[in-house]
Homo-oligomer: A and B are copies of this chain.
Amino acid sequence: MIDTTPLVKKLGAFVALSDAELSVLATLLKRRRSFVAGRDLVHQGQSDQAAYILASGWACSYKLLEDGQRQIVDFQIPGDFLGLRSVLLHVSDHSIEPVTDIEVTEIHVADLLEAFAHTPRLATAVLWAASRDEAMVVEHLVDVGRRNAAERMAHFLLELAARLFLIGQGDRTGFACPLTQYHLADALGLSAVHVNRVLRQLREEGMVTFRDGLVTFDDYARLAEFAQFDPSYMDQANPLLR
């Protein structure tokens, strides 16, 4: 089943799943759905019964404040869960917006929890995936709490590149990036105006160029040094559970 490839690859990085386990995973996948860019899939406060796995396109999860400000918590790329936390908790604590047009595969919570009973290793794999997601949110918190605007931007772009590389999109020279400067601002806790200035600075210093939907690393090594980028938190090593 082609849909599952990015997910299986991701879960397989932690738990070597058997054919039987993979087929259980396949039965969880219900219908395929499409959503258009900019129209929320999930609203803050909504009660859900379904989560999704992103098949193609980019999405972002965010929280809105009463005064209209928003904080983007994370971006999702193919293979990532959408709204897994929403269904485990009783109500969604965040909203999800497709950044581009996206395709997703639906999963019902009840099915997922039921599957854990017969396929405990699957539960372990999902717990690992959730931990990895949390590790990325944590690194994001460090970004926003303790790095200045330029370091924050550099670190963020390097993290995105590393995640995209894992699913075969982009390399050390750069990647295609559908985000606007407003997305970057809301993710990094900056104003859009300042995002623009920081991008200019990084470009003029010959480290990275963000233009026309393309991120180009002009000097990857220097950028990584500048951002103090250490990808070990993404846990892209070998399976722990064999």
Contact = CB atoms under 8 A, between A and B. Distances in A.
A131 interface: yes
A166 interface: no
Interface string A112-139: 0100111011011011101111110111
A88 interface: yes
B232 A93 contact: yes
A137 B145 CA distance: 12
Interface residues on A, range: 35 or more
B137 A138 contact: yes
B85 A134 contact: yes
B66 A228 contact: yes
B144 A189 contact: yes
A138 B63 contact: yes
Contacts of A131: 84-85, 88-89, 130
A138 B198 CA distance: 25
Given A89-B135, A131-B89, A113 B124 contact: yes
Nearest to A15: B113
A67 B139 CA distance: 16
B145 A189 contact: yes
Interface in A61-99: 63, 65-67, 69-71, 73, 84-85, 88-91, 93-94
A147 B145 CA distance: 12
A31 interface: no
A221 interface: no
A85 B135 contact: yes
